[in-house]
Every structure is written in structure tokens, then in C-alpha cells.
Amino acid sequence: MHEALEALFLGVVEGLTEFIPVSSTGHLLLIGHFIGFESAGNTFAVMVQLGAVLAVLSIYAGRLWNVMRAAPHDPEARRFVWTVLVAFAPAVVIGVMAHDIIKTVLFETPRLIAMMLILGGVVLLFVDRLAIAPKHDDAMRLPIWTALRIGVIQCLAMIPGVSRSGATIVGALALGCSKRAAAEFSFFLSMPTMLGAFTYDFWKNRDVLDAEQFGLIGLGFVAAFVSGLCVVRWLLGFVARRGYAAFGWWRIIVGTIAMIWLTFG
């Protein structure tokens, strides 16, 4: 029962933090470290993310279905599909090559995670204050080259604490996307990225997952889906009005508290 409650709590944290630029994986790993939550092969922190991604898919299902239906005869629809796939491609290459190092070294280094939270917060504050005139207001009409560069930047998030959404949003803002378009493209890119991470991690750890582990992942999955729904609906309006500074400060505060706890706790 104790582990089940921890899994539910961590699932809620995942859903609340997956799409805001604060590093859901960093939060899960740090909280898991401090409360003593363990999962075989560190699979929980990766596989539970699919719940949050399905929350995005459910919200954008209508638009995505229309795109897929139109793709065979509509060049604009095909172009959007290609931009997402091109942006996803770097994560496939780097993720497969670096998977073992990420899971056995980086995931096991809480001080690194805390440092990345602080550093990422500083970067987010800096980029949010830049007076960059947006060149791209529609996340579904980004140039292919812009999408590829966002995808390369996304790979930085394989270091836990960097934040996948944070990396893609900062990259998109720096490349001339509006704040809303940056958040939306991050949503779209999360779908193949997290599905790919889930599938590959499941395959790599299939021999160490048992019924208990699947049960905990399932609880976290459901909690992440429900909390993710709330965040996605709220986030776009928030960033359009207020930008990303609040998330930068949140990262710095959480990272600093974690570093102090790791040093003196």
C-alpha cells in the first residue's frame, strides 16, 4: 500500500511537470531518491510519462486526426507530419546510443540533476527576457530546418534535470517561435518522443519487470494522465500571458533546496 501511494503521488507529479519546462524526470528522480522509491531498471520515471502524453493526445486528437486524414492529398498536412518526424529523429539516434549511460549513470546522480535544474532555470529566465520578434506563430507550420534544430536541442534533455519541454521550448523561442507556438510544438514533439522512450525502455527492461512493477507503473500512468489533462489545458493560456519566468524561478528554488538537502541532509 505504501509503494502504491508513492506511485500515485509520483504519477501526479509527472503529469503536473511533464509539459512545463521544469523537468518531470528530474522531479521524479529527486523525489524518488528522497522518499526511497525504487523501480527495476529505473523504468518508472520513463514509462509513466506515456500517461501524460496520452493526455495531450486526447486534447489534440481532433486536430491530429484531421491532419492524418488530409495528409495523402494536402501538402500542408504532410509537411506538418514531416516536421514532427524530422524533429524526433535526433532523439532516436542519441537515445539508442546513450540509453545505458543515461539510465545507469545520469539517472543515479542526484547532484547532477539538482545542478541542471538550477542551470536550466537561469537559461529559461534569460531566454524569456530576450526581445526576439516571433517569426513563427503556428506550431503546425514550422520550417523543416527549424524543426530539426529544435529536435537536436531536445536531446539535451536526456540529461535528467534539463527538461524535455524546457529544451524544446527554449530552442523554439530562440529560433523565433512565439511563446504559444513553442509550447504547442513541444506538445506535438512529446508524442513520438515519449512513445519511443516508453517502447524502447520497456524492451530493454522486459526481463526485470514483474507484476508488482507493472501495477505501480499503471497507477502512476493513470495519475499522470489525469493531472496532465489539467496542465495542458492551462499552460497555453498562462505562457501566452506571462511567459516562462515563473518556471525558471521554480527550477532554481527546487534545485537549490535539493542541493542543500543532498549536502547537509
pLDDT digits (tens, 9 = 90+) for 68-122: 899 889 999 999 999 999 999 999 999 888 888 888 878 888 999 999 999 999 9
Q: pLDDT tens for residues 135-148?
A: 999 999 999 999 99
**Residue 156 clears pLDDT 70, i.e. is over it:** yes
CA distance 248 to 122: 6
Q: Could you tell me the residue range of the domain that residue 183 belongs to?
A: 2-34+41-264
Q: Any residues with CB less than 8 A from the CB of 99 and at least 6 apart, and which?
A: 200, 201, 204
**Residue 49 clears pLDDT 90, i.e. is over it:** no
- How far is the CA of 253 from the CAs of 44, 185, 239, 257, 260, in angstroms? 25, 27, 20, 6, 11
CA distance 188 to 177: 14
pLDDT at 83: 96
54: left (phi over 0), alpha (psi -120 to 50) or beta: alpha
Q: What mean pLDDT do residues 171-195 have?
A: 91
Average pLDDT, the chain: 89
* Count of domains for the chain: 1
Q: How many CB atoms lie within 10 A of CB 48?
A: 31
**Residue 211 clears pLDDT 90, i.e. is over it:** no
CA distance 46 to 28: 10
CA distance 168 to 212: 34
pLDDT at 1: 65
Question: Is the distance from CB of 217 to CB of 6 less than 8 angstroms?
Answer: no
pLDDT at 200: 87
Q: Enter the C-alpha cell of residue 12.
A: 501526479
Question: Is the distance from CB of 113 to CB of 30 less than 8 angstroms?
Answer: yes
